[in-house]
């Protein structure tokens, strides 16, 4: 971490301590999202970290972005995820949008005034995203969308949605990408999901019933939607990996602080070797995950993304988050299972990190494909 990154994370820590931490126990219980917190993060300059300054972004690196997400996640995984998904929408618009689309939609997103959401999954097409059923039929002046999208992060609070729909035949080549705005006629929201974790981040079904999308809201051209969707995956996976590191780090911090003060048999429980071994493993796995995430981020910054490494980083960091948070509950014992301490919340929040941006089983498939290709080339 360089001096700029230390200053950035140190001041961001203070913002999170003052503005996020005091609300999290209550808001997790109530399932409450505070737009003022997100806008505060925008005013702080971390809702458009990697976007160019001409569109209101900070123009920073993906390594900087990884530290930002890790820091926010130490206080709230859901707010970090909200920043991450909105930032992914920004990167899609930057990389695949035309000049008018960038000018129209990016400033409100990079400033944190609005939130972006990404709509790919459906009830019968999660990992098999190319099997989607939502359709976009060509009509005069644009397209008519019909269908539903499921498990959409920030559904109902986002204003700009990147929606994948089928304009052609079966498979990936028949998918196109559209920009849809909250309030568009024919676009509504289904039920809010009741979830194990991420309770302050709303997850909703999107419903399209003869929703007209003008021609100018098509990204790229017909049949290029899957390219758009896949184009954001490497960045999204690094982001979720960084959030996993922050989640694990907070659980580790809580475990060490507690074990240094909690006494049993007339000594701090930290002094028991069995616990020292657990904490040492937790710390080692967290640091290893951080290094892998930053290695993947460096590949993004270099302009030559290493997709295998991005999948590895997401896999490693989120599996680590699940293991470390589970061990943290064990270290704290009975109180770790109560909401008196935050480790149970971080354990619940960690679980879905293994599922989003491609399940960790899918990450292994991606990694294996890269390995096969690499070794066949050298055979």
59-76: per-residue pLDDT in tens? 999 999 999 999 999 999
Domain locations along the chain: 3-114, 117-221, 232-377
Q: Given pLDDT bands bounded at 50, 70 and 90, which one contains residue 125?
A: confident
Considering only 113-117, 189-193, 253-257, 349-353, which range has the smallest mean pLDDT? 189-193
Longest dimension (CA), the chain: 79
Q: Please name the CATH architecture into which domain 3-114 falls.
A: Orthogonal Bundle (1.10)
Asked if 321 and 208 touch (Cβ cutoff 8 Å), the reply is no
What's the pLDDT at 13? 96
What's the pLDDT at 377? 85
Instruction: Enumerate residues 6+ apart whose C-beta is below 8 A from 10.
Output: none
Q: What is the mean pLDDT of the chain?
A: 94
Between CA 59 and CA 312 the distance in angstroms is 26
Res 378 pLDDT > 70: yes
Res 336 pLDDT > 70: yes
Res 126 pLDDT > 70: no
Q: Given pLDDT bands bounded at 50, 70 and 90, which one contains residue 27?
A: very high
What's the pLDDT at 64? 97
Res 363 pLDDT > 70: yes
Establish whether 357 is a catalytic residue.
yes
Q: Given pLDDT bands bounded at 50, 70 and 90, which one contains residue 123?
A: confident
What's the pLDDT at 130? 73
pTM of the entire predicted model:
0.95
Res 231 pLDDT > 90: no
Catalytic residue among 113, 205, 357, 376, which?
357
Res 150 pLDDT > 70: yes
Interval 185-189 mean pLDDT? 96
Can you say how many angstroms the Cα of residue 256 is from the centroid of all Cα atoms in its chain?
27
Interval 92-97 mean pLDDT? 94
Res 129 pLDDT > 70: no
What's the pLDDT at 263? 92
Q: Which residue has the higher pLDDT, 322 or 192?
A: 322
Considering only 26-40, 125-139, 228-242, 249-263, which range has the smallest mean pLDDT? 125-139
Res 128 pLDDT > 80: no
Fold of 117-221: Butyryl-CoA Dehydrogenase, subunit A; domain 2 (2.40.110)
Interval 191-215 mean pLDDT? 95
Q: Given pLDDT bands bounded at 50, 70 and 90, which one contains residue 121?
A: confident
For residue 177, give the H/E element and its range.
Answer: strand 175-181
Number of Cβ within 10 Å of residue 13's Cβ equals 15
218 Rama class: left (phi>0) / alpha (psi -120 to 50) / beta: beta
Between CA 17 and CA 206 the distance in angstroms is 34
Q: Which residue has the higher pLDDT, 215 or 168?
A: 215
Q: Please name the CATH architecture into which domain 232-377 falls.
A: Up-down Bundle (1.20)
Helix axes 233-261, 273-301, angle to 10 degrees: 160
What percent of the residues of the chain are helix, what percent strand, and what percent coil, each to the nearest 5? 60, 15, 25
């Amino acid at each position: 971490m360089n001096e700029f990154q230390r200053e950035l994370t140190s001041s961001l820590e203070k913002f999170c301590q003052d503005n996020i931490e005091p609300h999290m126990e209550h808001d997790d219980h109530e399932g409450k999202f505070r737009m003022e917190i997100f806008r505060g993060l925008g005013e702080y300059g971390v809702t458009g970290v990697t976007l160019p300054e001409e569109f209101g972004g900070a123009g920073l690196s993906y390594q900087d972005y990884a530290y930002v997400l890790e820091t926010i996640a130490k206080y709230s995984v859901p707010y970090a995820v909200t920043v991450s998904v909105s930032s992914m929408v920004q990167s899609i618009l930057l990389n695949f949008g035309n000049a008018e689309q960038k000018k129209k939609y990016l400033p409100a997103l990079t400033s944190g005034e609005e939130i972006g959401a990404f709509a790919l999954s459906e009830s019968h097409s999660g990992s098999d995203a190319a099997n989607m059923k939502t359709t976009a039929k060509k009509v005069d002046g644009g397209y008519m969308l019909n269908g539903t999208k499921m498990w959409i992060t920030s559904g109902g609070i986002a204003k700009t949605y990147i929606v994948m729909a089928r304009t052609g035949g079966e498979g990936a080549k028949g998918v196109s990408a559209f920009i849809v705005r909250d309030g568009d006629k024919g676009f509504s929201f289904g039920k809010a999901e009741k979830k194990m974790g991420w309770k302050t981040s709303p997850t909703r079904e999107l419903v399209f019933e003869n929703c007209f999308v003008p021609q100018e809201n098509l990204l790229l051209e017909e049949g290029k939607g899957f390219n758009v969707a896949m184009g954001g995956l490497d960045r999204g996976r690094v982001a979720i990996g960084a959030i996993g590191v922050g989640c694990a780090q907070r659980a580790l911090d809580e475990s060490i602080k507690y074990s240094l003060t909690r006494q049993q048999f007339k000594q701090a429980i930290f002094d028991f070797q069995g616990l020292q071994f657990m904490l040492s493993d937790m710390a080692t796995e967290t640091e290893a995950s951080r290094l892998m995430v930053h290695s993947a981020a460096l590949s993004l910054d270099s302009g030559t993304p290493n997709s295998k490494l991005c999948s590895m980083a997401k896999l490693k960091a989120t599996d680590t988050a699940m293991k470390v948070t589970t061990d943290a509950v064990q270290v704290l014992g009975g109180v770790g299972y109560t909401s008196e301490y935050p480790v149970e919340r971080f354990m619940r929040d960690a679980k879905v990190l293994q599922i989003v941006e491609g399940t960790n089983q899918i990450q292994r498939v991606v990694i294996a494909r890269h390995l096969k290709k690499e070794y066949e080339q050298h055979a």
